[in-house]
Amino acid sequence: MGILAVLSVLSLAAPVRASAREVPKDAKVFLNTLSNSLAAVAEVTKPSVVNVSTTTTVNVQESPFGEFFNDPFFRKFFGNQFNHPEQRRKYKSSALGSGVIVSADGYILTNYHVIKGAQEIKVILYDGREFTGKVIGDDPPTDIAVLKIEARNLPAIKMGDSRKLKAGDIVLAIGNPFGLNQTVTMGIVSAVGRANVGISSYEDFIQTDAAINPGNSGGALVNADGELVGINTAIFSTSGGYMGIGFAIPSDMANSVSQSIVKHGRVIRSWLGVTVQDLTPELAKSFRIKQEKGALVTDVTRNSPAEAAGFKRGDLIVRFGGNSVDNSLGLRNMVVNTQPGKTVEVQVVRAGKPLTLKVTLRELAAKKEIRKAGYNNVLKGVHVEELTPDIRAGLNIPAEVKGVVVTGISSESPAAEVLLKNDIIQEINRKSILNLGDYEKIVSRIGPSDTVLLLIYRNGDYAYVTITP
């Protein structure tokens, strides 16, 4: 037998096995410890997260002839001469979201957009029990709503301090994505203090890469101590699914809003009375300011707490109540989260010199809103509000721009294809609009078949637009 044949037989009879490689012991200990820790946090917090199911009745227009007359090919040749009466039918639409139990006697935090317009709300607990949810109150500017169910001894979550969060902290997102109950995903805090996202009026979001999907809205974002640090609110996505960017409302903001709703039936916010903007290198050079951060005062409202305290245009606000002010949005959030009537020390830089002012905050007046009811013209379905200093600061509207701000437009309104949310209406039919009174007076005189000419301010530009019946 040749050597090769012998080696071949030996190879078949006794195969040589490479020694199996093992995970190092210290790595296994670390990973097992991490795994057990995350499982423990999930086990403690999951019972506090509930499923929120809503039912809404919607009106849908239907043609008695189906879609035939709406076919583009048909309309290309015959136009609109065969317009037909449309029938309205009511349908029930269902949606799913999440909520977080914050008290043992049945108070639940969720997003306003989860329960908006709902006629029926069903809350399903971790143990499978079902309750009818009642809306105690809501706050669209922060997208927070408070529900109540009639139950006792519920597993309320422990409230955490969202101000302590840092980029890189491990967090868990708990909710009911796509109706899959009690789903837990892990990630880190990607950033804090995210604003100008376009989700709500008061934005100070926690950004996370923990997977958040449709149905997670209103669920819990918890830290490594099993404490609630955020209410999951929205995702950034081009596909509607998870893309690694999710946003949560900080627990401090959510807790402050919910407590005000439960105690007062509404959200009470404070008012300082200044219009501010972010400090840029160019502005710092022009004002001879050495600081790199702060909120620059561009206007002081007459008869405001700021005027009484001695604020002036050109002041750079650098600290508010002991907390550093990085930008205008940061200042606004500090002000609105402070109780009215409280006296706060505010540090400013004026003409290059530090100065401390004491200001006693007052309650921010409730915004008046003109609703679509009562108007039978092209502006029906257009919701507007006073252009308050708070809104002006949030939208970076210059002081010289006057008018009312568009806060919403019904899809059925003739103005839906012309106006956008946050447009400033300055003129209607060449008549100036300075406040809600002017708007109501002029709009009430517009006929059902009248075409309207508007002067609007949008994204830094002025434009005339027309709305036809």
Structural domains in the chain, sorted by start: 48-80+87-148 (2.40.10.10), 158-264 (2.40.10.10), 271-333+340-363 (2.30.42.10), 369-467 (2.30.42.10)
pLDDT of residue 110: 93
pLDDT of residue 461: 84
Please give the DSSP secondary-structure letter assigned to residue 156: P
Contacts with 429 (C-beta within 8 Å, 6 or more apart), sequence order: 442, 446, 452, 453
Say whether 84 is catalytic: no
- Predicted confidence (pLDDT) at residue 188 exceeds the cutoff of 50: yes
CA distances from 420 to 129, 166, 282, 395, 458 (A): 43, 36, 31, 13, 9
Say whether 169 is catalytic: no
Pick from 5-14, 137-146, 434-443: least confident: 5-14
In terms of Cβ atoms closer than 10 Å to its own Cβ (0-12, 13-18, 19+), residue 231 is buried
Pick from 120-129, 300-309, 386-395, 430-439: least confident: 386-395
Contacts with 131 (C-beta within 8 Å, 6 or more apart), sequence order: 106, 122, 123, 125, 149, 150, 151
- Of 48, 113, 190, 256, catalytic: 113
- Predicted confidence (pLDDT) at residue 241 exceeds the cutoff of 80: no
- Of 48, 98, 138, 143, catalytic: 143
- Average pLDDT of the residues in 418-434: 91
Contacts with 232 (C-beta within 8 Å, 6 or more apart), sequence order: 98, 173, 175, 212, 216, 217, 218, 219, 220, 221, 246, 247, 248
- Of 190, 217, 251, 258, catalytic: 217
Distance separating alpha carbons of residues 432 and 226, to the nearest angstrom: 55
Pick from 74-78, 255-259, 327-331, 431-435: least confident: 74-78
Choose the most confident range, by mean pLDDT, from 33-37, 68-72, 152-156: 152-156
Instruction: Identify which of 334, 342, 272 has the alpha carbon closest to the alpha carbon of residue 309.
Output: 272
Structure tokens at 229: 């640090």
Q: Would the pTM of this model clear 0.75, i.e. be above it?
A: no
pLDDT of residue 201: 67
CA distances from 265 to 136, 262, 340, 375 (A): 7, 6, 16, 30
At residue 154, the 3 state secondary structure works out as coil
Q: What percent of the chain has pLDDT over 90?
A: 29
